[in-house]
Amino acid sequence: MSQKDLSLGLSDWLSTQEGKLSVDVIETREELIVRSAIAGVKTQNLDISLLDDTLTIRGIRSHEYEQRSSDQIHVQECHWGSFSRTIILPSQVDADNVQATLKQGILTIKMKKKEKDKKISVLEIEDL
């Protein structure tokens, strides 16, 4: 197999694969924060869902450059097309208290942590 055949096969494989989103997950006392650099993605092209302890982020990054047949791409490291990431959260969160913002290409999702179940101690009362 020639070098040209190998690069075409790899390029074809990359173009059909869904991209994996890179994220940071930060835990504070009160909340979990998920951050991701997703420059070029519009809010209408994002889908964020939370089910139990699993957060899923899906989206599409549109390629604004139309490649002509005569164009040669020398390096293509950016992923264009669909992407997703599913994260199992390290703590339980309140699904009704989640805020997602997109500012300057950074997606930030803040989730308030649920209070842990409190253990109730039983007092023994002696009969008089």
Whether 6 is in a domain gets the answer no
The structural domain count of the chain equals 1
Beta bridge partners of 102: 107
Whether 121 is in a domain gets the answer no
**What confidence score (pLDDT) does residue 21 get?**
86
Whether 80 is in a domain gets the answer yes
Whether 86 is in a domain gets the answer yes
CA 83 to chain centre: 9
The pTM of the whole model exceeds 0.85:
no
CA dist 116 and 17 (Å) reads 40
pLDDT digits (tens, 9 = 90+) for 56-99: 999 988 777 677 778 887 887 677 788 899 999 999 999 999 99
Host domain of residue 23: 19-113
Mean pLDDT (whole number) for 96-105 = 94
Whether 31 is in a domain gets the answer yes
pLDDT digits (tens, 9 = 90+) for 38-52: 988 899 999 999 998
Q: Is the pLDDT of residue 119 over 80?
A: no
Mean pLDDT (whole number) for 96-118 = 90
Q: Is the pLDDT of residue 3 over 80?
A: no
Whether 1 is in a domain gets the answer no
71's tokens: 């164009």
Q: Please provide the DSSP assignment of 58-122 as one string.
A: EEEE---PPPPTT---S---S--EEEEEEEE-SS-EEEEEEEEEEETTEEEEEEEEPPPPPP-PP
Q: What is the CATH number of the domain that holds 72?
A: 2.60.40.790
CA dist 78 and 62 (Å) reads 11
Whether 2 is in a domain gets the answer no
Q: Please provide the DSSP assignment of 5-67 as one string.
A: HHHHHHHHHHHHSPEE---EEEE-SSEEEEEEE-TT--GGGEEEEEETTEEEEEEEE---PPP
**What confidence score (pLDDT) does residue 19 get?**
78
Whether 10 is in a domain gets the answer no
